[in-house]
Amino acid sequence: MSLPLHEIASTGSQPLLVRLTENGLSIGPSHDAAPFAPPSLIPARSLQPGEQYRFHFDMTKCVGCRSCEIACNEQNGNPASIRWRRVGEIEGGTWPDTSRHYLSMGCNHCLSADCLRGCPVNAYTKDPVTGIVLHSAEACIGCQYCVWNCPYSVPQFNAERGIVGKCDMCHGRLTAGLEPACVNSCPENAIEIEIVDQLSWHCDHATADAPGMPNSGQTLSTTRITLPEKAAASLEKVDIETLRVEHPHWSLVWMTSLIQLSVGVLVAAVATGSAGPVLTALILLLTAFTLNISVLHLGRPAYAWRALKMWRRSWLSREVLLFGLFFVSLTISTALTWLHALNSLPVSPRVIVFAGVVTSLLGIAGIIASARIYLVPARPAWNMQHTPIDFLLSSAVLGSISLSALGHLASAITRWHLFQSLTMRCTDSYPASPTIAICCALWMLNHILRAVILHRSDVYERKAAAALLNTDRLRGTFLVSFAFLSLALFFALTGQSLLAVPTALAAIISSRYLFFVSVVPLNMALTFIRQVHA
């Protein structure tokens, strides 16, 4: 499909059109010039089995005009803040022998796409005919897990629509024999569509690597990039020193912290034999509240139930499944405890203990699945053994400190006139002070070791995360989290459990906030001002 200006020039229907000919400038219609025939930038033949379409980007031709960005947004109706195709800059050399080049990238339609594997609702499919990785806006619930998984940060969240979107190589245009918008709009023909043999590319995908791009081997990017001579050894991102905090995801901060509190208190209660009816009812209420606020992270909360769909493949689906089973099991355990207390049914204490143990194991499994969500290679500062350790230790800290306060609250409730006729099982057997101190010490040690490892890492994204934590904006929060936990430990050791719980929770929430905002994701090179979606 030619551009409108090309059509006018080739037909000669505009008498005032200025043309550049071999004889100089010419004003008026051209009668003797041959019709303009732009080179085809899409394959002329059909795909064969085992082949797919891919982008080819020629860095030696790109002038950084961003016509591809604009054309992509116009074609897909995206706001200016969302760019399914982005243009970045890379530079290198020493003055006066310096160079700067541009890098244009949409979706790479990888052979092993991480966005597809991580999606809990199967919103991504790899088209069996074209090989294009397609995204279904109808199926998407806006969980943004694909955003975290993609090493190129290709999927982008549209807050107005509540869903994620990405480049689909203008699938409708391409299958109709038309060029994608970015290909059609480039004045230098720097972008074109090619056919690639998937098996051959799987064996050798070296030409997908380029300065300013993550390693193509992670997802087997199919985009072929033509580089300037000797570019690989001398060029780097222009935004390599530009760091910014990520979105805090407050609903996830609160959800992960509170669900870990629920599980931790239950485990501590079962271990100490203090899981009475009122206490388990309080834990059940806290869990119900937590699971309700968890859906606030979604762009389309009404479709949260769809997240169960891909439990065989997605850790997000497994987290939803396990915490759902935890809630069901906790409900049953609470009901059994109350039936025993009310003498309504002859429930054996062993059955109650067994239900408590099963519920505790489901809760611990849910925490581990929750931690596995963040073990994604595209976010190196998350993809560390310290993440699941932090989640489990946070649960232990909150559980050991909070059990005493909730236990005293449960005891106070049982003394109400309404409950005096019931057979309640309450105990003052709570975690000993050494247990609480050990949990707090291990939590602090884990965070200190993580910060040291990030700082000493050779991986740029991890080192950058450490640099973010050391900025004036975040350093104070890091120290405050330790101060809060130290204060919570003091309150717990001196028997002031009602003060210990909120200070411990403040420590965990402060730390979890830093966990989200300080991560530096893998990404392509951007501009010096690092314009990218939030």
pLDDT digits (tens, 9 = 90+) for 146-205: 999 999 999 999 999 999 999 999 999 999 999 999 999 999 999 999 999 999 999 999
More confident residue, 30 or 308: 308
Question: How confident is the model at residue 416, as a pLDDT?
Answer: 61
**Chain mean pLDDT for the chain:** 88
Considering only CA atoms, which of 65, 71, 101 is closest in space to residue 84? 71
In which band, very low, low, confident or very high, does the pLDDT at 377 lie, cut at 50, 70 and 90? very high
Contact 264, 395 (CB under 8 A): yes
Contact 174, 193 (CB under 8 A): yes
> Position 315: which residue type?
W
Question: Is the pLDDT at 52 greater than 90, yes or no?
Answer: yes
Question: Is the pLDDT at 396 greater than 60, yes or no?
Answer: yes
In which band, very low, low, confident or very high, does the pLDDT at 424 lie, cut at 50, 70 and 90? very low
Q: Distance between CA 302 and CA 300 in Å, rounded? A: 6
Question: How confident is the model at residue 37, as a pLDDT?
Answer: 54
Contact 434, 446 (CB under 8 A): no
Q: What is the rounded average pLDDT of the residues 369-377?
A: 97
Question: How confident is the model at residue 23, as a pLDDT?
Answer: 58
Question: How confident is the model at residue 439, as a pLDDT?
Answer: 95
Question: Is the pLDDT at 144 greater than 90, yes or no?
Answer: yes
Alpha helices in 273-312 (DSSP H): 277-294
Percent of the chain residues topping a pLDDT of 90: 72
What DSSP assignment string belongs to 344-411?
Answer: SS---HHHHHHHHHHHHHHHHHHHHHHHHHT--TTSTTTSSTHHHHHHHHHHHHHHHHHHHHHHHHHH
Considering only CA atoms, which of 532, 531, 477, 528 is closest in space to residue 507? 477
In which band, very low, low, confident or very high, does the pLDDT at 229 lie, cut at 50, 70 and 90? confident
The model's pTM: 0.87
Considering only CA atoms, which of 169, 58, 152, 163 is closest in space to residue 114? 152
In which band, very low, low, confident or very high, does the pLDDT at 3 lie, cut at 50, 70 and 90? low
Question: How confident is the model at residue 347, as a pLDDT?
Answer: 81
Listed as own residue / partner, the contacts of 27-35 with beta carbons closer than 8 Å and 24 or more positions apart are: 35/10, 35/11
Contact 173, 180 (CB under 8 A): yes
Percent of the chain residues topping a pLDDT of 70: 87
* Cα dihedral value 153, 155, 158, 159, nearest 10: -60
Q: What is the rounded average pLDDT of the residues 63-78?
A: 94
More confident residue, 170 or 7: 170
Q: Distance between CA 275 and CA 354 in Å, rounded? A: 12
- Window from 73-77, 308-312, 455-459, 529-533 with minimum mean pLDDT: 529-533
Length of the chain: 534
- Window from 125-139, 250-264, 492-506 with minimum mean pLDDT: 492-506
Considering only CA atoms, which of 256, 523, 166 is closest in space to residue 377? 523
Question: How confident is the model at residue 99, as a pLDDT?
Answer: 86
Structure tokens at 143: 């969980």
Tell me the three state secondary structure of residue 233. coil
Considering only CA atoms, which of 414, 319, 308 is closest in space to residue 363? 319
Question: How confident is the model at residue 2, as a pLDDT?
Answer: 55
More confident residue, 12 or 143: 143
Question: How confident is the model at residue 13, as a pLDDT?
Answer: 55
Question: How confident is the model at residue 35, as a pLDDT?
Answer: 54
Give CA separation, 276 vs 39, 273, 284, 426, in Å: 78, 8, 12, 6
> Position 485: which residue type?
L
